């Protein structure tokens, strides 16, 4: 039984805009799946649906074989680490942001996860280190930095599945490589479902689902998809 399975998922927003049509694919435990497609294809909507943010219009999402509608929302969310593109950062310190999902994490692990997502230089801008405030009264984080802080928080929480919306979209080449290595390492003991614009940024995925106009138009590895291009 796959960790996550989408069966014929359909969805439309309350205003009537149909967004997803008959989307089916599975994410085996410990595997990396990417959803790729042009802007407006429905990728962000799909991730939010998996996380349970919106109710499905049709079809089902199964977690380890059970329809998610039969599972308590809190239990499900604890198993999924969902990082939206506009990732929320708490008003507070970097330490507080990291510890939210994993209280009691030892100090060296906090520094390690910051290094893993390329945020060490940001924290070292202040002599307060992990206790530097984030936001107007402390270090101002760019959109990409906020997202990486949220990814660091999700990594510490060790969910069975990480749901990441465009994690490398706003990164320079160096930080993109770093984050990809980090996600590679993370994928050794958990599954990843990553949304991306471009095929090249998710070339390491075990499976790539191509979404266009809310429909799955191809599924394959990077090499398979490039060949048929
Ligand atoms: P991004 O593409 O940066 O992820 P969003 O996810 O916020 O941005 O929005 C994606 C698209 O959805 C945009 O075209 C936006 O106009 C549209 N959109 C977002 N929210 C709404 C809404 N409440 N009603 C209609 N369209 C929306
Ligand atoms: P992608 O992530 O692939 O860019 P989205 O899932 O953001 O695509 O958007 C898919 C479609 O749903 C777009 O047509 C967008 O305008 C619409 N949409 C996104 N968010 C909303 C919303 N909150 N309300 C209504 N329509 C939305």
Q: What is the ipTM of this complex?
A: 0.71
pLDDT tens-digit readout, 32-52 = 999 999 999 999 999 999 988
CA of 86 to the centre of ligand 2 (A): 14
Q: Which of the listed residues 15, 17, 57 should we mutate to test ligand 2's pocket, taking the one with most ligand atoms within 8 A of CB?
A: 17
- What is the band of 228 on the pLDDT scale with cuts at 50, 70, 90? low
**pLDDT value, residue 188:** 84
- What is the band of 65 on the pLDDT scale with cuts at 50, 70, 90? very high
Cβ neighbours of residue 59 under 8 Å, at least 6 residues apart?
Answer: 6, 7, 8, 9, 10, 22, 23, 24
- What is the band of 1 on the pLDDT scale with cuts at 50, 70, 90? very high
3-state secondary structure 68-89: HHHCCHHHHHHHEEEECCCCCC
Residue 30 has pLDDT above 80, yes or no: yes
**Lining residues, ligand 1, CB within 6 Å:** 39-40, 44, 85
**pLDDT value, residue 172:** 87
pTM of structure: 0.85
Residue 77 has pLDDT above 70, yes or no: yes
- What is the band of 90 on the pLDDT scale with cuts at 50, 70, 90? confident
- Overall average pLDDT of the 78-87 stretch: 88
pLDDT tens-digit readout, 159-207 = 999 999 999 888 888 998 999 999 988 888 899 999 998 888 898 899 9
């Amino acid at each position: 039984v796959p960790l996550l399975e989408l069966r014929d998922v359909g969805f439309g927003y309350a205003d009537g805009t149909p967004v997803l049509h008959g989307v089916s694919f599975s994410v085996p435990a410990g595997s990396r799946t990417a959803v790729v497609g042009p802007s407006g294809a429905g990728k962000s909507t799909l991730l939010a649906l998996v996380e349970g943010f919106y109710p499905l219009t049709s079809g089902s999402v199964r977690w380890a074989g059970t329809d998610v509608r039969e599972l308590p929302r809190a239990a499900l969310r604890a198993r999924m680490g969902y990082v939206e593109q506009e990732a929320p950062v708490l008003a507070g310190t970097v330490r507080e942001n990291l510890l939210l999902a994993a209280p009691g994490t030892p100090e060296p692990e906090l520094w390690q996860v910051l290094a893993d997502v390329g945020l060490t230089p940001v924290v070292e801008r202040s002599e307060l280190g992990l206790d530097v405030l984030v936001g107007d009264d402390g270090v101002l984080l760019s959109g990409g930095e906020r997202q990486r802080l949220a990814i660091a928080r999700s990594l510490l929480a060790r969910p069975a599945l990480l749901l990441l919306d465009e994690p490398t979209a706003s990164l320079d080449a160096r930080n993109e490589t770093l984050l990809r290595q980090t996600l590679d390492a993370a994928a050794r003991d958990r599954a990843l479902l990553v949304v991306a614009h471009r095929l090249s940024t998710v070339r390491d995925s075990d499976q790539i689902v191509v979404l266009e106009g809310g429909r799955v138009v191809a599924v394959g590895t990077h090499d398979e998809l490039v060949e048929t291009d």
